[in-house]
Chains A and B, each alone.
Chain A
Amino acid sequence: MAEPLDDYIDAVAKALALPVEEAWRPAIRANLEVSLRLARLVDEFALPDETEPAPVFTA
């Protein structure tokens, strides 16, 4: 049975022209699950619209 992230992995791999061999897929999926879980932890923290990112460009 296909895992929920597999379609996404296939689509992004295609868009970025990244090779994903079947043998690598479980590890890539597991790593992506961790990254997305941590990213959601940041995502759910509300910040004002005016918040600047940490790196500020200087002309």
Chain B
Amino acid sequence: MNTAALADLCYRMADDELILAHRHSEWTGLGPILEEDIAFSSIAQDKLGHAQALYAIMHAHCGEPEPDVAAFMRNAEQMRCSHFVELPIGEYDFSLVRHFLFDAAEYVRWTALVESSVEPLAKLARKIHGELKYHLYHAQTWMVQLGAKGNEESHARMQSALREAWPYALGMFEPGNHEQALIDEGISIGEVATQERWIATVTELLASSTLEVPSSTEAHLGGRKGYHTDHLQPLLDEMTEVYRIDPSAEW
């Protein structure tokens, strides 16, 4: 098994899940209605669970640190998340659009990973398929509600958030340093193919929301190489504050 390539893929995926889970959790207690607050918080918990499972795979198969250490003891330059997940939560329109674009990508990525040559990854992909289906269903239901079934203001806000989010969303598909090895060894289908499937999926779903797919092809890159927005380090400081007081503590 090419452990360097596997770790490269898993860090990109896990760091995205971890950071977006934290961003989503910032809505806990502040969500627009009680039921949605609980639903969004549950989705954040699911994402944290996916990150933990990926860190555990790297710990077991790639000689990487334990999940807690991997999640909480790295600084911004060591993170491999995309700029998309680092952005502040903004208003709920932006958070919903990010949730939609991210989870559509998650859905196509993990659906392909069911066929991965790395059995622990394929097994995890099969296990969480239902969760991913629900996350996309949750996002899509809101996109239709606020796009096709809402009013002029809700439609305009969703379209505007979509335009703002789009170049960052394209940054999710920035490849890592072992892209060809990942494809050649059947570990993943690669970022180009993942992006193609994602475009097809969001184009179809956005049509039912009467929202336009932005035409911009500009992508915010750098996250997969350790170059991040200024939003990441403050998030890490806040997220890891308690853990770093005493990393050896038993919780």
Do A and B assemble together? no
Contact residues of B with A, CB < 8 Å?
Answer: none
